[in-house]
Amino acid sequence: MEHNRQNRPELLAPVGDMERLVSALDYGADAVYLAGKSFGMRSAPSNFSNDELRQAVERSHARGVKVYVTCNVLPHNHELAALPDFLTFCEEIGVDAFIMTDLGVMAMAKRYAPKVAVHISTQAGVVNYETANAFYNMGAERVVLARELSFAEIAEIRAKTPKALEIEAFVHGAMCVSFSGRCLLSNYLTGRDANHGDCAQPCRWDYYLVERTRPDQVFTIQQDQKSTFVFNSKDMCMIEHIPEILNCGVSSLKIEGRAKSAYYVACVTNAYRHAVDAALAGEPLPQWVVDETDKISHRAYSTGFYSGQEPGQTPEMGGYIRHWDIGAICVGEENGYVRLTQRNRFFRGEMVSVLEPGTEPYDLELSEIFDETMTPIESAPHATMTVYLKTDRKIKPGAFLRVRRS
């Protein structure tokens, strides 16, 4: 099924700071979601001060990109006093929408920032059309669906809700072991409240089994004498299923990862930009687009709950699969040489994969490299060192040079 531009879906990218915003803008996002210093569900990234929020909106709008601010924590009484000023400020600077969970916060947004659209967060656990309709009747313009839904369920929600209500669904990134991310495990074990953006991710930890009457005797859950990461969820990757998602009537395709790096934002946004564009044009998905999702650190991939089955866990490991490193980032051209800043060690003669805005990634040999004194070097071993590359290829500033790990 070919989709015309009137029905063009939105590609929504995660942004944790200004550097990641630049990646999202450069690599094809239609909209970004980010947070101020408070009220967002991710405290690990640096997030945005009020001045930075203003700059983010200005830079995004100049590129035709919308900005959604997350206010999706579940606030306690003492936190409410600071909300009105923040909501009013967001309206003044032109924020396009809030992402919210709490009904009281939603009511405050309607009171203090009535011109800003309200999107209902996945934390609200919308899994049926009646709930979606209820939020619409309360003034929501979009619902971010819970991850625990199949293609058929999403299509039914679309069919039984007003066309004016937009539907957003996750297509890539980490998945929480708890329903729609509503977890108390972190709070219980560490005192870090997941519902205030401070999750310690204990679902990724390594667990043993202890029987109640034998507290000193530790049992492994697997028979090979290894412990188990029994709660560790797979990551979602829907790169090969964009046409099916679009056929369900999804308005916005969301990438998870506000705590991830600028490179992650660039690589994944770029891949899904091309995947969405291919689907809209009715063209087959290029293999290189699929391959790009393997060039970031990730857990074992699954298609989430879209197929109607549980995505499963990865009890054998808690870490990431990592086949590629960022060798360097291009910062421009100088005296006919490409200037690079090193991120991980690389060697003269190595083949790198170059990711840059607006083009298909390409391979390039590092045949001649020099240090900052223009002395030829065999490798770049020092963190953030300046390296000059001699090549006939023009490389855009901000491009990432990736090195395959052995």
Q: Stretch 91-110: mean pLDDT, rounded?
A: 97
Which of 76-90, 246-260, 305-319 shows the lowest per-residue confidence on average (mean pLDDT)? 305-319
Q: Stretch 230-239: mean pLDDT, rounded?
A: 81
Q: Stretch 259-271: mean pLDDT, rounded?
A: 95
Which of 23-37, 44-58, 199-213, 347-361 shows the lowest per-residue confidence on average (mean pLDDT)? 199-213
Residues 201 and 55 in one domain: no
| pLDDT-based confidence at residue 84 (cuts at 50, 70, 90) | very high
Residues 139 and 98 in one domain: yes
Residues 190 and 336 in one domain: no
pLDDT of 5 higher than 90: no
Amino acid at 403: V
Per-range mean pLDDT, top range of 65-79, 200-214, 217-231, 364-378? 364-378
Residues 204 and 281 in one domain: no
* pLDDT in the model for residue 41: 56
Residue 162 and residue 136 in contact, taking contact as beta carbons nearer than 8 Å: yes
| pLDDT-based confidence at residue 1 (cuts at 50, 70, 90) | very low
Which of 302-316, 317-331, 335-349, 376-390 shows the lowest per-residue confidence on average (mean pLDDT)? 302-316
Distance, C-alpha 281 to centroid of its chain: 25
The β-bridge partners of 352 are 364
* pLDDT in the model for residue 224: 45
Containing structural domain, residue 154: 5-175+235-302
Residue in this structure with the two tokens 């200004």, named with its chain if needed? 18
Within a domain: residue 371? Answer: yes
* pLDDT in the model for residue 6: 46
Q: What is the mean pLDDT of the chain?
A: 88
- Between residues 150 and 405, the one the model is more confident about: 150
First-to-last alpha carbon distance for the chain, in angstroms, is 41
CATH of residue 383's domain is 2.40.30.10
Residue in this structure with the two tokens 């003044």, named with its chain if needed? 92
Number of domains in the chain: 3
Chosen domain end from 187, 219, 251: 219
Residues 51 and 132 in one domain: yes
| Among 254, 202, 280, 270, CA closest to 8 | 280
pLDDT tens-place string over residues 334-358 = 999 999 999 999 999 999 999 999 8
Burial of 59 (0-12, 13-18, 19+ CB in 10 A): middle
Residues 392 and 262 in one domain: no
pLDDT tens-place string over residues 40-59 = 655 555 789 999 999 999 99
Residues 37 and 113 in one domain: yes
> What span, in angstroms and rounded, lies between the C-alpha atoms of 362 and 217?
55
Residues 87 and 203 in one domain: no
- Three-state SS for 184? coil
Whole-angstrom CA distances from 346 to 60, 329, 330, 396 are: 34, 12, 14, 20
Q: Stretch 125-151: mean pLDDT, rounded?
A: 96
Residues 45 and 124 in one domain: yes
Residue in this structure with the two tokens 């990109």, named with its chain if needed? 65
Residues 111 and 33 in one domain: yes
H helix intervals, 310-354: none
- Between residues 157 and 185, the one the model is more confident about: 157
pLDDT of 184 higher than 90: no
The β-bridge partners of 255 are 172
* pLDDT in the model for residue 233: 73
| Among 177, 199, 100, 178, CA closest to 141 | 100
Q: Stretch 254-264: mean pLDDT, rounded?
A: 94
* pLDDT in the model for residue 348: 97
| pLDDT-based confidence at residue 227 (cuts at 50, 70, 90) | low
